[in-house]
Structure 1
């Protein structure tokens, strides 16, 4: 279990070619893991396979693949067909939009992936039951849209279920003025979803309180989050989805100056 680990998250819609341009900078900047979210217009595993081909030590993760849209058997088959290096891979999964049977669906998916030889699975989870499932059956949990104090409380509870459970947190991050409008739009979009709105209400925070909105906030936020969890994933929000914009974000936020 690592402490103080900082990783980076990119949009799956960027595609493999752009990710292959960005990944060497991510590795050179000292980030622990490159996380790619999976969307209908962005195959995370294809992007990670492209990143694997241009890096040597950078860890690779999906954050997260909804198993109501992409069954675990399909995920495992794609991992094998793309030859994504298993020693560098974390497959993050979530229940997806379908509420009925969510816990059973994720529990079964974890078993299928493990049986297929995927050694490291993390579960994207909002509620306590799904979080406990990730700690008990998978290798850990990916938290999302939580402030540092709540992340710390959830991590403590999960480490109580399994001391070796890995707890990571996605933190939307904008470091330039031109990206703040996009961050505000994404924040408002998530705050409009009933499950996220209910979660923000339970925590007693505004959605914006779970983001980093300026480069001047970065140092204090990282100190708070890295003290709370095992891995902080800076989900990069940039002015436009170009490789150059993401590389500049990497240059300004990476542990190792470029």
Structure 2
């Protein structure tokens, strides 16, 4: 299996920046562009801008919380955005829900798959959410995993999903990455931030891994070798971490990552 490599950036960069960034990502040969959902910018608007200036790039959200944007609202936003459904992967997750999270996401998956033709994938940490996503959605969006843990979770999901869907779920994985050592403090800060969140902290403890050990590349390591280690997933999303997150730095990230992976 050949793992596709995509680029992930914050949705907060906005549609105008995405309009510049997306053609560079496509020209560099990456499979897709993933935009994080956030309160500042709607990723669907950014993806709509990307669709206007690209032809083949997969467009994806990672992930929209269903507690903040219920399916009917998300569906209406999708219709208004004009993002081509054939190119869109809609990542959804539980957000801040702590009770009934799996049922809420499962309901959203069913509703969206009935109303649209977009691929719907589930952002999942725990085993119950992963199982539901494997059985009921088009795939999973995993994150903050070492290669060995990613391989185990991907194999588990494919075994769970194949009988009910007639085909295996697509497994995508977010990996925070840098191409410039000047960005390493930001990478370490992001890893420490996620390790402080209770749900993620519990997951890291359960898996016996540290957040920083899931990032690319490790200090003194090689990005290409790090990417190759994730050959168990269908798509590896390099979540670009740069010193300041500026558009120029993101463009440089795309160019440098492309060169390092050739």
Q: Shorter-chain TM-score: what band?
A: over 0.9
What is the aligned-residue RMSD (CA, Å)?
1.6
In the TM superposition, what are the counterparts of 1:1-258 in structure 2 within 5 Å?
3-163=2-162, 164-213=168-217, 216-225=221-230, 227-254=231-258
Structure 1: runs of 5+ lacking an equivalent: none
Distance 2:259 2:178 in 1: 17
Structure 1 residues 230-239 or 111-120, which shifts more?
A: 111-120
Contact 2:177/2:240 (8 A) holds in 1: yes
Contact 1:18/1:242 (8 A) holds in 2: no
TM-score in terms of structure 1 length: 0.95
Contact 1:251/1:257 (8 A) holds in 2: no
TM-score in terms of structure 2 length: 0.94
Distance 2:25 2:209 in 1: 31
Structure 2: runs of 5+ lacking an equivalent: 163-167
Distance 2:244 2:98 in 1: 33
Distance 1:160 1:3 in 2: 19
Contact 2:223/2:261 (8 A) holds in 1: no
- What is the CA-CA distance between 1:239 and the residue it aligns to? 1.3
- What is the CA-CA distance between 1:253 and the residue it aligns to? 1.1
SS in 1 for 2:56: coil
- What is the CA-CA distance between 1:216 and the residue it aligns to? 4.1
Instruction: Tell me how many residue pairs correspond in the alignment.
Output: 256
SS in 2 for 1:240: coil
- What is the CA-CA distance between 1:215 and the residue it aligns to? 8.1
Contact 2:224/2:261 (8 A) holds in 1: no
Residue deviations 1:52-78 (CA, integer Å, cap 9, x gap) = 111111010000000101111111111
Distance 1:20 1:66 in 2: 24
Q: Which portions of structure 1, spanning 4 or more consecutive aligned residues, are displaced by more than 4 angstroms?
A: 255-258
- What is the CA-CA distance between 1:118 and the residue it aligns to? 3.3
Residue deviations 1:169-193 (CA, integer Å, cap 9, x gap) = 0000012122111111111110001
SS in 2 for 1:170: strand
The 1:242/1:218 distance shift into structure 2, 3 A limit, reads same
Task: Tell me which of the two structures has the higher relative contact order, counting C-alpha pairs closer than 8 angstroms and 6 or more residues apart.
Answer: 1
Distance 1:73 1:222 in 2: 37
Residue deviations 1:145-179 (CA, integer Å, cap 9, x gap) = 01000000000000101242001100000121221
Structure 1 residues 149-158 or 208-217, which shifts more?
A: 208-217
